[in-house]
Amino acid sequence: MSEATITEQAYPRVRAVLDVLAGWVRRADDACAADREFAQLPPQELSVVAQDLGVSVHDLRAVSAKGRDGAAELLKRMALLHLDPADVAHREPAVMQDLERVCSLCDVRRRCRRDMRRDPADPVWEHYCPNADTLRGLRAEPQA
């Protein structure tokens, strides 16, 4: 048995902490890679990309810095509201894109995550979530 296997068996909590830290590093590396890719684009090309996506260059850079999990809270909230992100993206692509952008740029992500963990059914999120009105509207729409 290798020394690493013995350590994993003897210290499972240490392994769990290391796994979390490795995830943080991966996400930070993803964000840095996106920043490097955007930094290499000529300004006019970056403007075209932002315009194609319907966002400002500033928002494009900010969203890319959040990495792939930038709108993870949105997807969890939509699941709690019984909204299918794929269906919304198909029926209302601009709305879904705006929801993702707003969630990615949100300043209260930590509170959102905490509230979802504590009591997912608590409607308190509707008072601070910048996507609350849009999500309520989508929930009120008849499903296709």
pLDDT band with cut points at 50, 70 and 90 for residue 118: very high
Residue 107: both structure tokens together? 């300043």
Give, in order, the Cα–Cα distances in Å from 135 to each of 2, 58, 139.
51, 25, 6
Q: Report the distance separating Cα 38 and Cα 61, nearest Å.
A: 7
Return the residue matching tokens 């997807």. 75
CA 120 to chain centre: 17
What does pTM read for this prediction?
A: 0.61
Tokens 């999990």: give the residue.
69
57-71: pLDDT as tens digits? 777 776 666 666 678
Output the six-digit token pair for 43.
């300004």
